[in-house]
Amino acid sequence: MDSTTGQLRGPLRRLHHAALAEGATLIVLLGIAVPLKHLAGLPGFVTVMGPLHGLAFLYYLWTISNTAAGDDWTRADIGRMVACAMVPFGAWFSIRLVRRKAAALARTAPR
């Protein structure tokens, strides 16, 4: 865990973990489960990963709304976070935004 991740607190930490879960399940779904379904005739992996990714995605959206309600987030920030969830490997861009938000909060927080 790097120093920036160690500084994440409360809602930003939950958002960081939700983005990781959403991004990882999307990559596994699209990169492993769907090819296995279509190339090897094994639909069971999609049957498992589809709902798991759906739950991770809903949790991610819920976490975005809770985090944005409590902090100073713009519509553009929220839009970027949601858009990142639609793209494989997009979660890593949203994690970068979460880290920037945490760094900005750390700069403005009283010591």
Is residue 1 in some structural domain? Answer: no
Q: How far apart are CA 60 and CA 66, in angstroms?
A: 10
b/e per residue, 36-65, with b = 16+ CB within 10 A? bbeeeeeeebbeebbeebeebbeebeebbe
What would the pLDDT profile of 17-37 be if each residue is shown by its tens digit?
999 999 999 999 999 999 999
Tally of domains in the chain: 1
Q: Which domain holds residue 95?
A: 10-108
Is residue 2 in some structural domain? Answer: no
Distance of CA 93 to the CA centre of its chain: 9
Is residue 27 in some structural domain? Answer: yes
pTM of this prediction? 0.85
pLDDT tens-place values along the chain, 111 residues long: 444 445 567 889 999 999 999 999 999 999 999 999 999 999 999 999 999 999 999 999 999 999 988 777 889 999 999 999 999 899 899 999 999 888 888 788 776
Is residue 3 in some structural domain? Answer: no
Is residue 4 in some structural domain? Answer: no
Is residue 61 in some structural domain? Answer: yes
Is residue 90 in some structural domain? Answer: yes
Q: How far apart are CA 59 and CA 23, in angstroms?
A: 12
